Structure 1
Amino acid sequence: MSQEVSFVAEEINSIVKDILESLLASVTYQHSRISQLTEQVIEEVLKKLVAQKRPYKYLVSAVIMQRTGAGLHTACSAFWDTTSDGVAVVRWENRSIYCVVTIFGVAI
């Protein structure tokens, strides 16, 4: 698979970090807004990835939680073609929010 159509986690991470910075950097945790913010993160990530017009199906998961010092452990697994498919995980935080976005890219 050529470089321009391969799943490059570092590229995806950069895109997601930019989105999280623009959407969440100045946000203070409010439980009533988290559902909306989570949807917004997922929509923006998908929009940017699809705009690249690469031959992939994307699955995006986002978790936003209040940053209180509590631990968070997540895991995921897939059975796929390791030469063309991939996963990227972005961890991001500010003073009151902790966010984890997971993106699976499955080659078409």
Structure 2
Amino acid sequence: MAEISFVSEEVNGIVKDTLDTMLGQVTYQQSKMTQLTESVIDEVLKRLVALKKPYKYLVSCVLMQKMGAGLHSSAAEMWDTTTDGYAHVRWDNKTMFCFLTVFGVSI
């Protein structure tokens, strides 16, 4: 079986489209963020799985109210650089930021 490389640009497109659709008109409300974060992750995973590529996906999503605060985040990984990869999207609207990362690990 030929190896398939993780295509970050393709994943970025899926993530951006999902965020535009699901968050574009949303106003940040603390009480709704847990459910919204879970819904965003579920939709991204659903769309990635629909690609039918031989990957396990790990998705991390941070929703943060725009209040002028700083945020630092990092991740480390060790994998096969010829097949595995990640995509990271920073997205925002008038009231919130979203930082979504997808790791794709070949199976």
For the superposition of Structure 1 and Structure 2, which TM-score range results when normalised by the shorter chain? over 0.9
Q: Secondary structure at the match of 2:90?
A: strand
**Residue of structure 1 equivalent to 2:27:** 28
C-alpha distance in structure 2 between counterparts of 1:15 and 1:82, whole Å: 22
Determine if the alignment matches structure 1 residue 53 to structure 2 residue 60: no
Amino acid at match of 1:38: T
Q: Secondary structure at the match of 1:65?
A: strand
C-alpha distance in structure 1 between counterparts of 2:46 and 2:5, whole Å: 18
TM-score normalised to structure 1 length: 0.95
The runs of at least 4 aligned residues of structure 1 exceeding 3 Å deviation read: none
Aligned pairs for 1:2-81 (under 5 A) are 5-81=4-80
| Equivalences, count | 106
Amino acid at match of 2:22: L
Determine if the alignment matches structure 1 residue 83 to structure 2 residue 87: no
TM-score normalised to structure 2 length: 0.96
Structure 2 unmatched runs, 5+:
none
Aligned sequence identity (%): 59
Q: Secondary structure at the match of 2:59?
A: strand
